[in-house]
Chain A
Amino acid sequence: DTAVSQTPKYLVTQMGNDKSIKCEQNLGHDTMYWYKQDSKKFLKIMFSYNNKELIINETVPNRFSPKSPDKAHLNLHINSLELGDSAVYFCASQGATGGYTFGSGTRLTVV
């Protein structure tokens, strides 16, 4: 039973399209994150949500819109996809002890 699950695992799409990545955690954690791992392999924070409320938005273009319908879900919608959006996107949740549990990642390729 996967603790943090992301779908899809792979996503190939054309420039200009709109796409969504879904994330669900069954750990009962209050805080969830989206991280982006770019071609230089940096894992960079994009968004942080606590109990459905946006806490952090790290200067991400507003083409990226996270949505948290409940504290177990944090989805990422991306409008007007650009080549530079190609990356691996990781969802994570954080428990009371501070530890993070990551999903397996979504590899987005924009062509």
Chain B
Amino acid sequence: QVTLKESGPVLVKPTETLTLTCTVSGFSLSNARMGVSWIRQPPGKALEWLAHIFSNDEKSYSTSLKSRLTISKDTSKSQVVLTMTNMDPVDTATYYCARIHRVDTFGGVIDYFDYWGQGTLVTVSS
């Protein structure tokens, strides 16, 4: 049974650094066909992709937030960590982690998010 669970502070102050942890079970972060992504959703708004990481340490970041984000993983702990610096009230959102499933198709390799965590609401306020 695949599960992902986000953990971290519910409240951060402006200018602080946010650190979120995604703890996974039911699959290994060393699996070459799996990755983990972070996505956020401000209240009442759309989903926004933040970053992802794969077993070979392949990483990718949202262009607009790249300078503020760092993603890493601890395979032995089955955890993926996202840090976001210089938090602002506009960063108030529910933050999700999701498993990326990588598969081979006729057209080549495709990735999609097949399991999601429940999400954690982070509020940025002084």
Our verdict on whether A and B bind, yes or no, reads no
Partner-A contacts on B (CB < 8 A): none
Partner-B contacts on A (CB < 8 A): none
